[in-house]
Amino acid sequence: MARIRSGLATSHVPAIGAALDLGKADAPYWQPVFAGYEWTRRWMAHEQPDVVILVYNDHASAFMLDMVPTFAIGCADSFVPADEGWGPRPVPVVPGCPQLAAHLAQSLILDDFDMTILNEMEVDHGLTVPLSLMFGQVSEWPVKVIPICVNVTQFPPPSGDRCWRLGESLARAVSRYDEDLHVQIWGTGGMSHQLQGARAGLINQEFDRRFLQNLTADPQALRRISHLEYVRESGSEGIELIMWLIMRGALGKQVEELHRFYHVPASNTAVGHIVLRVEGLAL
């Protein structure tokens, strides 16, 4: 059967993608950021997952503010990189996994999650930057990807607890799929940042580091963080961290932390990254 063996979370800062695309990864400003992912790239080459369930938020590429689903799942054969105003990123088309995606959609809906099913969708930096961080600049992506979009742009977003339970439901659905697949789940976005208003540029390192720590030390506490606390402590865009809880909920009660990285700044945000494995699985 298919199984989620591990998961990771990472920021998906658009400027990271631009730095890679423009050949600036070795520049003094960016080199410490990319160094934080070197361990994961080596680990990923060893793990070789078949499918990645990639949780991210759209940035007005697939959805405008007149229609924003709370949860959506991409069931297409492939996903073309979106033009976000300065041309699409020069990265490969993202291969989908429509059979597993259709199974997940059915299971999640029967589990009382109202998923919007997307049979065609362009994907923006929220999805392609994490792929670039984990696999580098490649001619084709080495995994199939099932995108799951979460509304964190228009009030009200789902609660962290709801996202956690979606992760649990995803894990159950994957385990019921009758094919031997190595599946990973990624949560992306965050960490603390605010892009507008009087607090533009806010970064709360204490909140970020505690959040990273509690993914293993006290994950249940993360389920109780309210929308207001996210805004107050991590800025208006810090709400993206609820997507990390989908990843964490899918891994079950006990996990092993394999790698952690935190860096300030990258553009005008903090960069966070963590790799977790379901406890008891062999490397």
Question: Per the residue annotation, which of 12, 103, 125, 273 is the catalytic one?
Answer: 125
* DSSP secondary structure of 215-273: HHH-HHHHHT--HHHHHHHH-TTGGGGHHHHHHHHHT-S-EEEEEEEEEEEETTEEEEE
103 in active site: no
User: Given the DSSP bridges, would you call strands 122-123 and 78-81 parallel, antiparallel or unpaired?
Assistant: parallel
Closest CA to 273 of 241, 234, 239: 241
Torsion of CA 250, 255, 260, 262, to 10 degrees: 50
* Residue 3 to residue 6: CA distance in whole angstroms: 9
125 in active site: yes
Are 162 and 224 spatial neighbours (Cβ–Cβ below 8 Å)? no
Are 256 and 279 spatial neighbours (Cβ–Cβ below 8 Å)? yes
Closest CA to 111 of 148, 149, 56, 166: 166
Question: Per the residue annotation, which of 12, 103, 193, 273 is the catalytic one?
Answer: 193
Closest CA to 272 of 197, 186, 198: 186
- Name every residue whose Cβ is closer than 8 Å to that of residue 116 and which is 6 or more positions away in sequence: 69, 71, 72, 73
* Residue 37 to residue 116: CA distance in whole angstroms: 32
Are 268 and 236 spatial neighbours (Cβ–Cβ below 8 Å)? no
Amino acid at 229: E
Residues with catalytic roles: 125, 193
